[in-house]
C-alpha cells in the first residue's frame, strides 16, 4: 500500500461514516457506485439494510481484482469493470501511483495540488501507466432497471460531466446524486458549476455538503426537488 494511502485511509473512513449517517435515512433501495476503487465507500454503505442492490464500477484492472476478491461473494453487489462515460467506446485511462486519483480526464499540468501529490507519492509525473479501458453509459447499462429509489454516487476525478451526459434518460428517475467536487483546477475542461447547471435542469437541488477532513474536496448530495 502506498504511503499516501496509509495517511488518507483513516480520514476516508471517517468521511464515509459521516455520509453513511445521512444516507441511511434516505428512501433508497439501490446504490450505484461509479469510481468504486477498492470499495471504501461500498463497504460502509453495505450497512444500510434497506438497500438491497449495489452496483460498483471500477475500470482499473489491478484495483478491480481487489474489489472482486472483497465483494464477489456478496449477492447484493454487482461488480462491473467499466469506466462510465457519455458514450460506449474505448478510452485511455491514466494510472496514478495514488490509484484513487487515476483518471480519464486531461490534467492541468499547472495544478499545485497535482504537484503536491506527485511530491507525496515520490512521482516524477502525474501518471505511471496508461491503457485502454471499455466505457459504457448509465443509460445503457440500466435501461431496463427501475432507478426511482436510487443514489447515484460519482467519483471520477474530473470526468463527472461525461458520466452525467451518459445518464440523461435515467436522471429523470434517480432521486439522489452524490458527486465529488474538488477544490482547485486539477483537470482541464472541468467546471463544477457546469455540472450544477445541468443538474438544475433535471430539478436537482443541493441538499448536503460533506467536506473531506483535509479540505481539498467535498462530496455534495443533490436531491430531486
Q: Mind listing the pLDDT tens digit of every residue in the chain (225 residues)?
A: 666 677 788 999 999 999 999 999 999 999 999 999 999 999 999 999 999 999 999 999 999 999 999 999 999 999 999 999 999 999 999 998 888 889 999 887 777 767 776 677 777 777 889 999 999 999 999 999 999 999 999 999 999 999 999 999 999 999 999 999 988 777 877 889 999 999 999 999 999 999 999 888 999 999 999
Q: How many domains does the chain have?
A: 1
Sign of CA dihedral 105, 36, 34, 136: positive
Is residue 12 within 8 Å of 43, Cβ to Cβ? Answer: no
74: containing domain: 3-224
Nearest CA to 39 among 24, 56, 20? 56
CA pair distance 69, 171, nearest whole angstrom:
31
Confidence (pLDDT) at 3: 65
Cα–Cα distance for residue pair 87/47, rounded to 1 Å: 33
Q: How far apart are the first and last CA of the chain?
A: 42
Grid cell digits, residue 167: 445518464
The three three-digit cell numbers of residue 216, written as one number:
481539498
CATH code: domain of residue 100: 3.40.50.150
pTM, two decimal places: 0.93
Amino acid at each position: 500500500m502506498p504511503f499516501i494511502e496509509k495517511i488518507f485511509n483513516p480520514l476516508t473512513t471517517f468521511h464515509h461514516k459521516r455520509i453513511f449517517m445521512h444516507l441511511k435515512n434516505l428512501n433508497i433501495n439501490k446504490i450505484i457506485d461509479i469510481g468504486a476503487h477498492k470499495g471504501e465507500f461500498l463497504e460502509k454503505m453495505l450497512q444500510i439494510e434497506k438497500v438491497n442492490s449495489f452496483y460498483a464500477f471500477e475500470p482499473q484492472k489491478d484495483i478491480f481484482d481487489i474489489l472482486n476478491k472483497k465483494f464477489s461473494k456478496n449477492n447484493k453487489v454487482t461488480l462491473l469493470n467499466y469506466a462510465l462515460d457519455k458514450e460506449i467506446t474505448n478510452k485511455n485511462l491514466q494510472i496514478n501511483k495514488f490509484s484513487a486519483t487515476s483518471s480519464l480526464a486531461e490534467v492541468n499540468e499547472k495544478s499545485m495540488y497535482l504537484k503536491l501529490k506527485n511530491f507525496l507519492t515520490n512521482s516524477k509525473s502525474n501518471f505511471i501507466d496508461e491503457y485502454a479501458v471499455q466505457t459504457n453509459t448509465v443509460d445503457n447499462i440500466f435501461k431496463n432497471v427501475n432507478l426511482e429509489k436510487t443514489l447515484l454516487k460519482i467519483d471520477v476525478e474530473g470526468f463527472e460531466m461525461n458520466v452525467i451526459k451518459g445518464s440523461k434518460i435515467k436522471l429523470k428517475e434517480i432521486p439522489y446524486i452524490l458527486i465529488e467536487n474538488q477544490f482547485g483546477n486539477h483537470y482541464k475542461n472541468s467546471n463544477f458549476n457546469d455540472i450544477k447547471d445541468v443538474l438544475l435542469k433535471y430539478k436537482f437541488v443541493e441538499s448536503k455538503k460533506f467536506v473531506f477532513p483535509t479540505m481539498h474536496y467535498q462530496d455534495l448530495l443533490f436531491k430531486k426537488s
